[in-house]
Amino acid sequence: MSDASRRVVTVLIARRVAPASVAAFEVAIQGMLAAAEGFAGHLGGQVIRPGDSDTPGESLAADGSTEPLLYHVVFAFDNEAHLAAWQNSAERAHWLAQVLPHTVGQQQLHRVTGLDYWFAAPNSTTRPAPPRWKVATVTWLGIFPTVLLLFLTIAPLMADWYLVPRVMVITVLVVLIMTWVVAPRLTRWLHSWLHAKR
């Protein structure tokens, strides 16, 4: 298996939903996310609702508006093969058939690898990713305090453990905290700097 085929792959899907169909769309997309959890290599899924986005003009429409709302849906798998198994599955086809009637226009799809997902602008099909040095800087800003906090709080409780299980637990916690807590907030707070014109 090549290095590329072993990389974590995250798919970001942008879909527009008519305001009158939001409730039905939410039910269908949550069903799709739940179905994906049962597949090998699934690492997580998320719905980024209109109002959660930092993109100007994509906030929730006012009451009574008929303007479609922009949703982003994220699926992450540990490699391309497992992602393909999900994408070609009968379960995905079933839930996609439930989702499509509530959407407007064509979907926009973008793939990223690793933590790059957090650094991709919601409208990344038209806006380039930030420079690698900015990604590295923000990643370090997240990892340093996270590791320091874990070494001050969790590590002393594992003082009698062997080295390998200690490192395993610490690194798992770092990945989880970075992915679900730290990285989303840092990239939101530093969004303007990350995506400033070069």
Mean pLDDT, the chain, integer? 79
| pLDDT for the residue 114 | 58
What per-residue confidence (pLDDT) applies to 60? 46
- What band does 116 get if pLDDT is binned at 50, 70 and 90? low
CATH architecture, domain defined by 3-119: 2-Layer Sandwich (3.30)
171 or 34: which carries more pLDDT confidence?
Answer: 34
Q: How many C-beta neighbours within 10 Å does residue 62 have?
A: 8
**The predicted structure's pLDDT at residue 57:** 37
Q: Is the dihedral of CA 173, 178, 179, 180 positive or negative?
A: positive
| Band (58; pLDDT cuts 50, 70, 90) | very low
Separation of alpha carbons 149 and 143, rounded Å: 10
In this predicted structure, the answer to whether residue 132 has a pLDDT above a threshold of 80 is no
Tell me which of 111 and 126 has the higher pLDDT: 111
Residue ranges of domains in the chain: 3-119, 132-194
- pLDDT attached to residue 129: 65
Q: How many angstroms separate the CA atoms of 142 and 158, rounded? A: 23
Predicted confidence at residue 32, as pLDDT, reads 95
pLDDT at 79 over 90: no
For residue 55, pLDDT over 80 is answered with no
